[in-house]
Structure 1
Amino acid sequence: MDDLSHQAIQHALCGNWEKALETNLEILNSQQVSAETLNRLARAYAELGDLTKARESAKHVLEIDPFNTIAQKSLQKWSALKNGARSATQSLSAQIFLEEPGKTRVVPLVNLSSHSVILALECGHEVKLQTYPHSVVVATIDGKHVGRLTDDIANRLKKLIDAGNVYQCYIKCAQIGEVKVFLRELKRAEHIKHIPSFPTEKVNYVAFAAPELLRNKKTALPRSI
């Protein structure tokens, strides 16, 4: 896979549809037309609300590859939508990623799964949290391992989940070597309602005086008479 194709995929995974559109158009202008690029272009147009161009790109795919299932399914899905309507994925993502102090947090995962699993993830995909004695794992809805939360977040969330809190988890960004998820507190147990899931980080300032400004009894200057 060349660099531009990789960039186009990453922009799409992270929901940067304008960049995805721009990159795929650049690929078409500089390289041979391919079904893969046209499918990505069609998706970008659809996410940005230009269903006319999305359909045109998908039809172009079928001219190259008449049995391309991605283009076939896309045309079927878009046939009932009016031009200007954005896909459900983008509308949903905009709501999913609304931040609430103390209730939401974007966190990176460690111990990531295989490349095939990571590349199948999309921004906005819901995933689930699985708690274990010493870790919290993120998995796809059908149970495939994606990665695990870092120890500091996992230790805190495990205690809160055991206490009765409920959380939702969505893919925020996914690429080879890096996956970030968006965590949202869905329900807080009554007996710990005063404890935020994700405390706002504060800097504690400690009063400090330079040693040379402190007056030591042994070296203090005598009072003026």
Structure 2
Amino acid sequence: MNSNTQTEIKDMYIKIEIETIVVFNHIVVNSILDIRLNELKTDFDKLLRQIKYGGNVSEIKNKAIDINVTIKNLMESTDLVNPNKINDFVSNLIKFTAATVAKYEEVDNSKEFPRAIRNELANLCDKYFKRYFGRYLDSNVWGEIKFYEWLKRGDFIYVDICAGGRWSQPERERYFSDDDLDKFFNDNQSYVIAKMLSSNIRASKVNIADPLSDVDTKCFVDSHKILPKLEVDALN
């Protein structure tokens, strides 16, 4: 056997919409993950065609069951992923799973598509997120994000206008609503004020980095944001 033989690596592209593609990076060719991702890609393409061209409910239901099984198998195989790529893999599988749940919801209710199939997948997605990412988003992390967004909303954050300045951070969509941030301040006024006063102050503003500037934290939060809504029967 040639000890110099190198493992072949590829990226797997699965189209969700015309302009939306989930990319699973660094997949070993002919590995279990490669085989299951190919199965998933084939089944999902068939599902899209059945929905688009009015396939009967039995065909759509059977294909959805196949997809749920393959996604579950991929989730159970995640530990086979290169440890350096596992966050990317998990976040992409969550993204794909959430999109699949949304596709199930597009199926006309008159076709009597079993809601249990949708709920099963939403529940799998929630458990998968908690297994790999949930422990990283504790109350302290959420508190830091709320604190930053509360400051940002009030224009209390120092911005270095110099090009390439350390705190010249790009604008991003806010995670928490005005009501969320109001409640955060009302419930934690002493903490917020003390934290502001103990922070690095420049030009009468707080010199602080966005918690989501950390790549991993942003990955965890972005995944949490797209989790499908759980329904009562999905929790049982």
- Give the TM bin, normalised by the shorter chain: under 0.3
TM-score if structure 1 supplies the norm length? 0.25
- Normalized per residue, the structure richer in strand is 1
Larger Rg: 1
TM-score if structure 2 supplies the norm length? 0.24
Higher relative contact order (CA 8 A, sep 6+): 2
